[in-house]
Amino acid sequence: MNSLMKTTPIKSSPMPFSSEDQFRADGNNNVPPPQGYWRFAWRSGHGANSLLFEQRAVVVNLGLFSALLLASVIYLSLGSVKVAPMAVLQALFGNADMMASFVVQELRMPRLAAAASTGAAFALAGILMQTLARNRLATPGIIGIDNGATAFAVASIVGLGVSIAPPAMALAGATTAAVLTFGLAAGNGTQGYRFIVAGIGVGAVFGAITQLMLARVAIDTANAAYPWTVGSLNARPSGALQLLMLGLTLGLATAMALARSLTLLCFKDATASGLGVNVKRRRVEVLLLSVALTGLAVAVAGPVGMVGLIGPEIARSLSSSRSVPILAATLAGALVMVLADLAGRTLLAPIEIPVGIVTAVVGGPWLLWILMRPQRSFT
Amino acid sequence: MSQSPTPTMPSLATQSLGMSYGTRQVIDGLDITLPSGQVTAIVGPNGCGKSTLLAGLARLHKPDSGAVLLDGADIQRLPTRQLATQLALLPQEAVAPEGLTVTELIRFGRQPHQGWLRQWSAEDQRVVQHALAAAGLEQLADRPIDALSGGQRQRAWIAMTIAQQTPLLLLDEPTSALDLGHQIEVFELVKHLAHHGRTVVMVLHDLASACRYADHLIAMREGQIIAAGAPATVVTPDLVRMLYQVECTLLTDPDTGSPLLANVRRSPAPA
């Protein structure tokens, strides 16, 4: 093949630079899509429009979404009071008996929403940070952002004695940790080990500060703040969930809007820039998004950073390497968190295992597996 | 020139351009004009500032002083995306995400022309097919990039820049890691592109290839331009000595008329 190619004469054909209009005129609908894509075309006032959907991504996203729905029904049905799956569906649509309605709508539904939203936010923040750093280990949990958010949130509960809204404090903490990490890795940008090592150091310091604060306050106060330090869905500050859901909606929409240029960030900076991506600005946007999502999610559930590693990893193993699987990672994160909290609530009932511990038990071995298996893409 | 370019060609020039790398001033007060529709090669010894100059031309680095002008306008003021429709860049040792096929790579070249509601137009389809053909890669369209030979891989990257449909193409050492056969593949493709209306600028460390394939040569030393013009007129034994501290005998290629360097040897140490 090699020698054949060398002798292939280079074909000469004219190279028009601007002939778009003449091509818009003829059959916008008959253009063959690239292999593995579905193409939808229509005509509007702006001319010919077209959308591409990667077939595999559509299948993966639908599959993950179905799995999330199924897991949610099981989540709502299991617990100290069992509600049959059919009764769950009836309760959701408002025509079940009082008891089932109360358990499903008042007790479990808000917690399910918290589990799904935090899982989605952690995983989305994770894949954004990984893409930014071109490193699969560079999730907010590993580079100290979770711990920064936690330390500030704990401070607002125990240290200050005044109740500053935990989401605001968690956001401030996430931002502080991010500034420190990037400041300490200055000069080397987001690539390379220095950035990750700096992040691990920053995270360790914030973890220690959290422990110190807990050790110095009255035992009751420490107990109240304890969930923050391991990650639990049992102590959700009021209003934090609503803020997270708003942030997640906006964040996911923004990330999807940036998806095309995020794929280009997998190339070298010079290549991405040559293809028209404003690399510096895109980096800042992605970083802000990732830090904000982490802060909002920590305010609800504490540092469940492992989800930020597991969600993107599941999505990546299911997807092709043609694009960054933003939506799939988000759905996978929500699914993992819902399943983890379901396991935490039911396995040792009536004792509840905090969801952060369940994800750590699963995530630890997962991390080892990532480190030990032969490198694929995204190194 | 077998065929004149269709639209008016944009011109690329620098105006007292100064650039530094870290704290070191690499080039200072450089004025160059790149001839349209020709292959320009920038040559010079290691560390002479040729790659920095290319990075400036491609707006990868910001100049300290002066400007790079595209049709008389400072490129720092152009939106990144708009610049990407005028100027394509092939950086040194470009790497693609693993598993990406030739066609998928070439499709990325359409990025600056695509948008929200214009993700795959008839034009995109046509241009990608054209780029595959122009680079002689039709047989390899569905091969992963990492399964190609060095020359094929480099042609796939150039095909991506062809799909970008820019009148200007900048290449940083496009043949540095290739053996002779693969080098010729790449140079002939580059020459072909210039003949079809593109302005090509490449940084080369090999003066012999520059003599053979460039229409216009820019020789740099210590951040300064010491010669610029057609290789046949500017390449002299004196120039070669100034650039690389070597002596040589200059011959003329009997087939192409381009200068040939023979009996290259170390200059005697200055007394």
Query: B89 and A378: CB-CB below 8 Å?
Result: no
Query: A23 and B197: CB-CB below 8 Å?
Result: no
Looking at residue A164, what is its pLDDT? 60
**How many whole angstroms separate alpha carbon A368 and alpha carbon A296?**
28
pLDDT bucket at A302, cuts 50 / 70 / 90: confident
How far from the centroid of its chain's Cα atoms is residue A149's Cα? 16
As a whole-number percent, the residues of chain B with pLDDT over 70 amount to: 96
- Of the candidates B169, B112, B114, B107, the one whose C-alpha atom is nearest the C-alpha of residue B141 is B107
- Of the candidates B154, B165, B101, the one whose C-alpha atom is nearest the C-alpha of residue B130 is B165
Query: B59 and A4: CB-CB below 8 Å?
Result: no
pLDDT bucket at B161, cuts 50 / 70 / 90: very high
Interface test with B, best of A2, A17, A40, A134 (most B CBs within 10 A): A17
**How many whole angstroms separate alpha carbon B92 and alpha carbon A69?**
48
B238: left (phi over 0), alpha (psi -120 to 50) or beta: alpha
Task: Count other C-beta atoms under 10 Å from residue A373's C-beta.
Answer: 8
pLDDT digits (tens, 9 = 90+) for A92-143: 887 778 888 888 888 899 999 999 999 999 999 999 999 988 888 889 988 8
Tell me: pLDDT of A45 over 80: no
**DSSP bridge partners of B34:** B12
A44 φ/ψ angles, rounded to the nearest 5 degrees = -140, -170
The pairing of beta strand B39-43 with beta strand B216-221? parallel
Tell me: pLDDT of A344 over 80: yes
Interface test with A, best of B8, B90, B121, B196 (most A CBs within 10 A): B121
Looking at residue A228, what is its pLDDT? 72
Is A36 part of the contact surface with chain B (CB cutoff 8 Å)?
no
Interface test with B, best of A15, A18, A278 (most B CBs within 10 A): A15
**A186-223 as b/e: b if 16+ CB within 10 A:** eeeebeeeebbebbbebbebbbebbeebbeebeeebbe
Tell me the chain A residues in contact with residue B82 when contact means C-beta distances shorter than 8 Å. 276
Query: A9 and B135: CB-CB below 8 Å?
Result: no
Tell me: pLDDT of A12 over 70: no
- Of the candidates B161, B168, B193, the one whose C-alpha atom is nearest the C-alpha of residue B11 is B168
Tell me: pLDDT of B232 over 50: yes
pLDDT digits (tens, 9 = 90+) for B248-264: 888 888 888 888 888 88
Tell me: pLDDT of B110 over 90: yes
Tell me: pLDDT of A267 over 60: yes
Tell me: pLDDT of A14 over 50: no
Chain B residue with minimum CA distance to A50: B118
pLDDT bucket at A379, cuts 50 / 70 / 90: very low
Looking at residue A5, what is its pLDDT? 41
Report chain B's mean pLDDT, rounded to a whole number. 88
Task: Count other C-beta atoms under 10 Å from residue B164's C-beta.
Answer: 26
In Å, how far is B253's CA from the nearest CA of chain A? 23
Tell me: pLDDT of B229 over 80: yes
Looking at residue A362, what is its pLDDT? 82
Tell me the chain A residues in contact with residue B123 when contact means C-beta distances shorter than 8 Å. 19-20, 23-24
**Cβ distance A342 to A75 under 8 Å?**
yes
pLDDT, greater one: B208 or A12: B208
The CB-side HSE value for B238 (13 A sphere, CA atoms) comes to 4
Query: B121 and A11: CB-CB below 8 Å?
Result: no
Looking at residue A43, what is its pLDDT? 85
Interface test with B, best of A3, A10, A258, A376 (most B CBs within 10 A): A10
Residues A273-280, mean pLDDT to the nearest whole number:
90
Tell me: pLDDT of A161 over 60: no
pTM for the model stands at: 0.87
Is B22 part of the contact surface with chain A (CB cutoff 8 Å)?
no
As a whole-number percent, the residues of chain A with pLDDT over 70 amount to: 87
Chain B residue with minimum CA distance to A53: B119
Interface test with B, best of A28, A50, A188 (most B CBs within 10 A): A50
In Å, how far is B260's CA from the nearest CA of chain A? 25
Q: Which of A31-45, B41-55, B167-181, B211-225 has the lowest mean pLDDT?
A: A31-45
Task: Count other C-beta atoms under 10 Å from residue B268's C-beta.
Answer: 7
Chain A residue with minimum CA distance to B165: A17
In Å, how far is A376's CA from the nearest CA of chain B? 8
Burial status of residue A88 (CB atoms within 10 A of its CB: 0-12, 13-18, 19 or more): buried
Is A4 part of the contact surface with chain B (CB cutoff 8 Å)?
yes
Residues B68-85, mean pLDDT to the nearest whole number:
91
Is A14 part of the contact surface with chain B (CB cutoff 8 Å)?
yes
pLDDT bucket at A23, cuts 50 / 70 / 90: very low
> How many interface pairs between A and B have CB atoms less than 8 angstroms apart?
167
In Å, how far is A362's CA from the nearest CA of chain B? 28
Residue B101: DSSP 8-state: B
Query: A274 and B111: CB-CB below 8 Å?
Result: no
Looking at residue A122, what is its pLDDT? 96
Chain A residue with minimum CA distance to B189: A10
Looking at residue A288, what is its pLDDT? 92
Looking at residue A9, what is its pLDDT? 44
pLDDT digits (tens, 9 = 90+) for A249-264: 999 999 999 988 899 9
**How many whole angstroms separate alpha carbon A48 and alpha carbon B182?**
41
Query: A321 and B59: CB-CB below 8 Å?
Result: no
Tell me: pLDDT of A2 over 70: no
Tell me the chain A residues in contact with residue B152 when contact means C-beta distances shorter than 8 Å. 2, 5
Tell me: pLDDT of A215 over 60: yes
Tell me: pLDDT of B240 over 80: yes
Residue A34: DSSP 8-state: P
Looking at residue A134, what is its pLDDT? 86
Residues A198-209, mean pLDDT to the nearest whole number:
91
Is A15 part of the contact surface with chain B (CB cutoff 8 Å)?
yes
Interface test with A, best of B117, B154, B196 (most A CBs within 10 A): B117
Is A188 part of the contact surface with chain B (CB cutoff 8 Å)?
no
Nearest to B119 among A28, A50, A268 (CB): A50
Residues B160-166, mean pLDDT to the nearest whole number:
93
In Å, how far is A263's CA from the nearest CA of chain B? 9
Is B140 part of the contact surface with chain A (CB cutoff 8 Å)?
yes
Tell me: pLDDT of A342 over 70: yes
Tell me: pLDDT of A157 over 80: no
Consecutive H or E run containing A369: helix A355-372
In Å, how far is B83's CA from the nearest CA of chain A? 7
In Å, how far is A377's CA from the nearest CA of chain B? 5
pLDDT digits (tens, 9 = 90+) for A220-252: 777 777 767 888 888 777 788 999 999 999 999
Within 74-103 of B, beta carbons closer than 8 Å to A belong to 80-85, 87-91, 94-100, 103
Residues B60-84, mean pLDDT to the nearest whole number:
91
pLDDT digits (tens, 9 = 90+) for A47-81: 788 888 999 999 999 999 999 999 999 999 988 88
